[in-house]
Amino acid sequence: MPTILSYVAVQNGKPTRSSLEALSRAREVARARGADLAAAVLAPDAAAHADELGRYGAATVYAVSDPIFRSHLNTPVLAGLEAVIARAQPEAVVFPSTEGVKDVLGALAVRTAAAVLPDVARFEVAGDGAVEALRPVMAAKFLARVRAEGKPVLVSVRAGSYEASEAPAEARVEAVPFAFDEGSLRQTLREVVSSAAGAVDLSDARVVVAAGRGVKDAEGKRLVEELAGVLGAAIGASRAVVESGMFPATAQIGQTGKVVSPDLYVGVGISGAIQHVAGMANSRVIVAVNQNPDAPIFDVATYGIVGDLYKVLPPLIEAIKQRKGTS
C-alpha cells in the first residue's frame, strides 16, 4: 500500500498547530487514495509524541530521537528526514511551512531526487500520484496552479490552510536508527536568541494583535500589550515597527516574516501594505483600527474602525474585559 508521510515539527516539546493541520490534510489525502498515513518526528524523545499523532490518524510514527534536535540545525534535520524517507518510501511528504522546514526543503529535494511544491495554500494527490497545488505568488496577489510528478513529491503547507481535526488511530512507533557524527556537521550553533521564553509562537496563535506604524511610543506599545493580554493573543508587528526596534524580529508578519492565519487578527495602526497583507489575509476574522480611512487594511477587514488607536484601544480593552467577565 502506498504511504503518505507527514513531517511533524516539534516546538517547546509539542507538535506545532501547523504540523497538526498538515497531518490532518495528509490523512484526508491518504484516505482518498487508499494510502497509509505515517508521521515523521525528529525530537530528543520523538516516540513520546506518538499517542498525540495517533489521535490525528497516523498509523505509523517514524521516530528519530537525538538530543541534537532540541534546537534547529539543518544538517541533522536533513539526515533524519533522509533516513525516514528511505525507510517509508512515501509517494508524498507533507510539511508544515515553518522556518525550520523552509531551511531544509530545497536541499532535501535534491538529496532525495524529489520534486517540491513549497508554501502551498491547497493541494491534492491526483490519480497518477502527481501532486497538484495552489500557491500564492506575486506578493500573494494571485494563486499559481502547479503540478509536480515523481516519487516522492515534497509539499509544504502554509499555516491555517486546513483545519486540524482528530480521527484516532492506533499509532505504531518505528524507531529510526540515527547516529550522528558531530564532526561531520560543518556548522556550529552558537546560541539561540529568543524573544520572551514560552511566549505563544505567532504562527500557531488563535488570536493575534498586530502593531504598525500608528503605534508611536511606549504608551501605544503598552495598549497593544494590554489588548493582547485581555484577548489571550500573540503579538505581531509590521516591518516598520520591527525595524524601529519597538518589536522583536520574531513578531514580524508578512511576505518576509511569518504567515499567520488566526481565528481573530486585530491590526492596530497598521496600514496594510501588500507585503504585510500577504502574511495575514488568510485570517478568519480581521479587525482593523486605523486613523486613515483610505488605508488598504480596510479592504480586507471584516470590521473596520476608523479612529485614533490611542482613543479606541482603552474603551476596547474595557469592553472585552466586561464581555469576558460576564460570559
Partner 1 sequence: MKFCVCIKQVPDVTAPIQVRDGALVMDAGRVVLNAYDASAVEAALVLTEQHGGEVEVVLVGPERATETIRKALAMGAHRGTHLVVDEGTPLDSHAVSALLARHFEGAGCDVILTGKQAQDTDAGLAGGMLAERLGLPYATNAVGLALEGDTVVVTRQGDTGQEVIALPTPCLVTCSNDMNDPRIPNLRGVMQAKSKPLASERVAEVPAPRVRVLGYEPLPQRAPGVRLDGEPAEQAAEVVRRLAEEARVI
Please give the residues from 118 up to 137 whose contact with partner 1 meets the rule CB under 8 A: 118-119, 132, 134-137
Single out the residue of 161, 252, 271, 290 in contact with partner 1 (rule: CB under 8 A): 252
Which parts of 298-317 interact with partner 1 (CB under 8 A)? 298, 300-308, 311-312, 314-316
- Those residues whose C-beta lies under 8 Å from the C-beta of residue 240, and which sit 6 or more positions away, are 212, 213
The three grid cell numbers given for residue 153, joined into one nine-digit string: 513529491
**Under 8 Å between Cβ of 60 and 2:** no
CA contacts within 13 A on the Cβ side of 205: 26
Instruction: Give the residue with the Cβ less far from partner 1, 85 or 148.
Output: 148
Instruction: Give the residue with the Cβ less far from partner 1, 89 or 194.
Output: 194
Single out the residue of 68, 105, 234, 253 in contact with partner 1 (rule: CB under 8 A): 105
Which parts of 42-101 interact with partner 1 (CB under 8 A)? 71-75, 98-100
Cis before residue 152, ω within 30 degrees of 0? Answer: yes
Single out the residue of 195, 222, 244, 292 in contact with partner 1 (rule: CB under 8 A): 195
Binding segment (CB under 8 A) for partner 1, from list 43-51, 54-62, 175-183, 199-207? 199-207
Binding segment (CB under 8 A) for partner 1, from list 31-39, 175-183, 211-219, 246-254? 246-254
Single out the residue of 5, 231, 234, 246 in contact with partner 1 (rule: CB under 8 A): 231
Which x/- pattern over 153-192 shows residues binding partner 1 (rule: CB under 8 A)? --------------------------------xxxxxxxx
Residue 229 phi, psi dihedral angles, 5° rounding: -60, -50
The three grid cell numbers given for residue 318, joined into one nine-digit string: 474595557
Single out the residue of 3, 65, 161, 203 in contact with partner 1 (rule: CB under 8 A): 203
Which 3 state secondary structure label does DSSP give 169?
A: coil
- Nearest-angstrom CA–CA distance, 187 and 203: 27
Instruction: Give the residue with the Cβ less far from partner 1, 34 or 245.
Output: 245
- Those residues whose C-beta lies under 8 Å from the C-beta of residue 194, and which sit 6 or more positions away, are 250
- Nearest-angstrom CA–CA distance, 287 and 264: 8
Which parts of 274-303 interact with partner 1 (CB under 8 A)? 274, 281, 284-287, 298, 300-303
- Give one DSSP letter per residue of 54-75, joined into a string: HHTT-SEEEEEE-GGGGS--HH
